Amino acid sequence: MTLALRPRRTTATDGASDLSPVGVHRDPTNHDPIAAGGFAQRLVHRISAALNRSTPNRRSFLTRTAVVGSALAVGPLDFILKPGTAYGYLCGTCSDGWTAFCCTINSGRNSCPAGSFVAGWWKADNAAYCCGSARYIIDCNATCPTQCSCRCAGDSCDGRRTCCNQFRYGQCHTEIACYGPVVCRVATCVVPWQYDPTCTTTSRTDNRTVDHGAPCLGQDCDTPIQRKYLSLGGPSSYLGSQTSAERAVRGSRPGRVARYERGSIYWSSATGAHPLWGRLLTKFDAAGGIGGTLGYPKTDILTTPDERAKYTIFQYGRVYSMQEEATAYLLTNAFASKHQQAGGVRGAMGYPISDARPINTARGGTVQTFERGRIYQVGSSIRQTHGSLYDCHQANGGVGGVFGYPSSDVKSSYAGGRVQYFERGIIWSFPPEDIPGQGLHGVTLFRFVYNGGVDPRPGYYGLGYPTQGTTPVGDGRGTYAVFQRGHIYGTDALGAFQVHGGVLDLYLSLGGPTGDLGYPTSELDPPSASGIRSQQFEHGRIDRLADGTIVRA
């Protein structure tokens, strides 16, 4: 173990050959990748890209590495035509003196493993890995104290050494004076002071490392994913360092993906490149990832206007990550579209409070619950219910109760009210007078609708909106409902009839349907020649005389 404050070398193979500062480097994203490099490099880039479409094998790995691993100042034709020679160009052995790449010994992660820290860096110019720009090699030195011992990485390609080279350039984490040997090397196109803010811009160059490759290293170049990553801040962003090479996604949903310490970036030609992390990424993975319910993300991570949630829009749905609940909920496009029709998270339904789930009834279907409503889907039919109409539906047993499934969305009704139709009933509300949702079903609903409902038919007395829905009388025979200007009473045997005005007042004073008169058996008759109007009941009659007097006949 060595205590040192300035660079020192103990090997002739690991590190830079030019130890003088070289100034500012080219931005690896600001160049023409086709023009970068020499003719041989461009030739191999094209040939290897074509060969790499086949099933991976030793030759396809070598041709892939040609794209991402070498400036090919040496043997470009040998590289393609003689796999053994190419293997020697790119893959390292334990005897060649160089340190292994971190992804070889760190479970595929192109980052410093536990027990090590970013200690220093050098660059290699004109790297095909970086589309002709500089490639940066970052040393990960062991922390003190360390049990790190010199050994071979043991990989079939990149079998180089680990914990053998006691060396440090020292541009990064200068506050750490004690260090152990170099554990591994990170290879990146991101400038080191962006990769780790503790790194300085003091640069060394060693172009001998421009060809070095490993199976776990991929093309880190001017791709849409790389541009997105840099626009987010690169390694200093929430995503952190890249942990695996960008790779192609094949199959019915082709695209690309790159993994980072705390998230991923996904790209497809239809959606562009967008990142995911945190609970949004967890929910996405649980839904099957790219090949699952959601497909590729279509947006970056967004924040709702009230800042209660983060969300991402995908090809086939949305995911909301609730800040206060530390959870996330998924809406498929069908549910998301219906939710948006009701105003989205700022509308009548509010935020989701569950994922969609199967409905436990004989008819089945799917339901998703929101703060102030639900969305139901049965077959191709999808309906939303919300507000006090939803509350009334739930109070009456929901889809398993007297009303059954919704057969319409919430709609506008007469004079500013709201109405929703169900399989076996209708629910109304009247916001101007603060009448919450009230539902009618059975014979009381039939009579109300027959007489014109909230917007009465000509010649019929309008009762207005219901203020109390269909309710059992309590005698085991009938039901009644209360309206703004009257009642409806009925039984299955007799049917239902409305009672209003002075006739209703006298009827109630006599005990209503459980009193002497029983249930009504007719509507209030039209005036006779004498001006008298009558309404028949099971056990009598109530007359309205021409002068307005109400009497029992």
pLDDT the model gives residue 23: 28
CA 30 to chain centre: 32
505 in Cβ contact with 550 (< 8 Å): yes
- Counting every residue written for the chain, the total comes to 553
481 in Cβ contact with 488 (< 8 Å): yes
Residue 168, CB-side half-sphere exposure with 13 Å CA sphere: 28
Question: What value does the mean pLDDT take over residues 468-497?
Answer: 97
Report how far residue 39's alpha carbon sits from residue 77's, in angstroms, rounded to the nearest whole number: 12
Specify the DSSP element, H or E, that contains 477: none
Least confident of 141-155, 213-227, 401-415: 213-227
Report how far residue 151's alpha carbon sits from residue 129's, in angstroms, rounded to the nearest whole number: 27
221 — pLDDT class (breaks 50, 70, 90): low
pLDDT the model gives residue 198: 94
Question: What are the residue ranges spanned by the domains of the chain?
Answer: 2-222, 344-440, 462-553
- Ordered DSSP codes for 256-325: EEEEETTEEEEEETTTEEEEEEHHHHHHHHHTTGGGSSS-SBSS--EE-TTSSEEEEEETTEEEEEETTT
Tokens standing for 148?
């790190």
Tokens standing for 265?
């970036």
pLDDT the model gives residue 206: 93
- Of 405, 463, 20, the C-alpha closest to 203 is 20
pLDDT tens digits, residue range 306-329?
999 999 999 999 999 998 888 999
Question: What value does the mean pLDDT take over residues 202-227?
Answer: 84
Q: 152 — phi, psi (to 5°)? A: -95, 145
Share of the chain above pLDDT 90, in %: 65
Burial class (CB in 10 A: 0-12, 13-18, 19+), 296: buried
Report how far residue 468's alpha carbon sits from residue 430's, in angstroms, rounded to the nearest whole number: 12
Q: 195 — phi, psi (to 5°)? A: -65, -45
Q: What is the DSSP letter of 23?
A: -
Tokens standing for 15?
């590190």
Find all residues with CB under 8 Å of 161, minimum gap 6, and list them.
Answer: 94, 97, 98, 99, 100, 150, 151, 152, 153
Strands (E), 315-457: 317-322, 327-332, 357-358, 366-370, 373-378, 381-386, 411-412, 418-422, 425-430, 435-440
Report how far residue 307's alpha carbon sits from residue 330's, in angstroms, rounded to the nearest whole number: 18
pLDDT tens digits, residue range 411-458?
999 889 999 999 999 999 998 678 999 999 999 999 999 999 998 777
CA 532 to chain centre: 69
Q: What is the DSSP letter of 487?
A: E
Tokens standing for 501?
């005005």
Least confident of 9-18, 26-35, 99-108, 257-266: 26-35
pLDDT the model gives residue 210: 86
pLDDT the model gives residue 51: 37
pLDDT tens digits, residue range 35-92?
333 444 444 434 444 433 444 443 344 434 433 333 343 334 334 433 333 444 578 8
- Amino acid residing at 500: H
466 in Cβ contact with 455 (< 8 Å): no
pTM: 0.69
404: alpha, beta or left? (left if phi > 0; alpha if psi -120 to 50): left
- Ordered DSSP codes for 158-221: ---EES----B---S-TT--EE--EEEEEEESS-HHHH-TT--S---B-GGGTT---TT----S
261 — pLDDT class (breaks 50, 70, 90): very high
Report how far residue 459's alpha carbon sits from residue 526's, in angstroms, rounded to the nearest whole number: 10
Separation in Å, CA 395 to CA 212, 348, 404, 434: 70, 19, 12, 18
pLDDT the model gives residue 150: 95
Indicate the average pLDDT of the chain. Answer: 84
- Residue with tokens 């070289």, as numbered in its chain: 22
Specify the DSSP element, H or E, that contains 231: helix 224-231
User: Highest mean pLDDT range out of 188-192, 217-221, 308-312?
Assistant: 308-312
Report how far residue 436's alpha carbon sits from residue 372's, in angstroms, rounded to the nearest whole number: 14
- Residue with tokens 């239902």, as numbered in its chain: 496
pLDDT the model gives residue 218: 67
371 in Cβ contact with 309 (< 8 Å): no
pLDDT the model gives residue 318: 98
Specify the DSSP element, H or E, that contains 55: none
pLDDT tens digits, residue range 358-387?
999 888 999 999 999 999 999 999 999 999
Q: 265 — phi, psi (to 5°)? A: -120, 130
